[in-house]
Structure 1
Amino acid sequence: MSTQNISQHIKVTVDAIVFGYNQEQGISVLLIKRKIEPYTLQWALPGGFVHDEETLEEAAERELKEEAGISINYLEQLFTFGKPDRDPRARIISVAYFGLVKSTDFSLFAATDAAEAQWFNIYELPQLAFDHAEILHKAIERLRAKITYEPIGFELLNRKFLFSDLEQLYMKLLGREIDRRNFKRKVMSLGLVVELNEKAPALAAGRPGKLYSFDKEKYQQLKIKGFDLDKLI
């Protein structure tokens, strides 16, 4: 096909969907309040235009640093969004990235074209600018699918934890109850966690609970080769 008569005026942006986990508050997502047009003072995902000299990943990392004051070690590419009318300024294609972090490890600081940066519970979201509600929905779907074939939790829980902490993590990620007996049997059969010869301090009149930790080597193996928890959670 000849390309001599094709005229394109397409710009490229990146959007970062950073999910945060907190044992008390559950799953949240990082949003920024825009300072500039369009959608001034509306909440949106962190992101912006890709500079000519940087990669997509570098652009996502830069925007998170500029708009929320945080650095994320790893973001996974999610999807490309390119409806012709998704941005009122021009024909803009956005490449979205997502990641999951322990939200208490970060102190947010809004700068550049962001007026505020804040964590929002994924079930209590404000109205979002652009098509960011659609992007976030896609990211939540990917995250929930991902935890059925790849271990998640090593970076989100304390080094020593109650097994109920791991159960709560998965229930909050999935947004529903799980078969706790089958879940524990499956996790233990994978060798993913190790029962320690320690117990957590008893709370009130409750019995002290057994403590567990992740087997780091097994965890890394399962992250590479995956597993199947789907039928048991």
Structure 2
Amino acid sequence: MDLSPLLISISTSLISTFITFILGILTAYIVANYKGHFKGFIDGILTLPLLLPPTVVGFVLLVICGKNGAVGKLLGFFNTSIIFTWFATVISATVVSFPMMYRTTRSAFEQIDENIISAARTLGLSEKKIFYKIAIPLAEPGIIGGIVLSFARAMGEFGATLMLAGNIPGKTQTMPLAIFFAVESGNMDEAILWVIIIITISLFMILLLNYWSQIQIKIMEKRGR
């Protein structure tokens, strides 16, 4: 049996989760501390991929990254393209999973006591040190949760990947795509196997998140004593 869909899904999910981890934390912290009138609009734009159908997200990415799009024209100068490549699977997974990381982390940042941040500024800490020495540790449970949810969302991505990367066996075919086309061809045994693998991975991620939450609760209880 060809295991390339499993390898492609895992590699795509890991890299997209790493990207959303960096971009999600930075964006969430900036938006959480932004007090302007456009906060709601900015938050809506950043959350939009979570609400839109994946095929719509894939179409927008196809327009942007296609040969007539802004990104496509830029890449055209280097005689390259990302359409129907493995990089397209990463881009699709990153875009659709980003809101999970962003919203979870932003909520964690917004729950931090502002008095702690104010006290840190009074003591002369720079904004950079406040970010990685105070905000990040205090928001750690939310960040971990965002990582798990982002990975799971990237692992299950289908519509945007199909639109932007296509279904090329051994190159862009992820497990969700393998399931769909296995069913289309009547190969139910293969489809069931991929479904079991995805369910197993997703269940493992949920158990990991629950285990981490229990550890955090125990730590908080010890600190309370």
TM-score range, shorter chain: under 0.3
Question: Which has the larger share of strand?
Answer: 1
Question: Which has the larger share of helix?
Answer: 2
Q: TM-score, normalised by structure 2?
A: 0.27
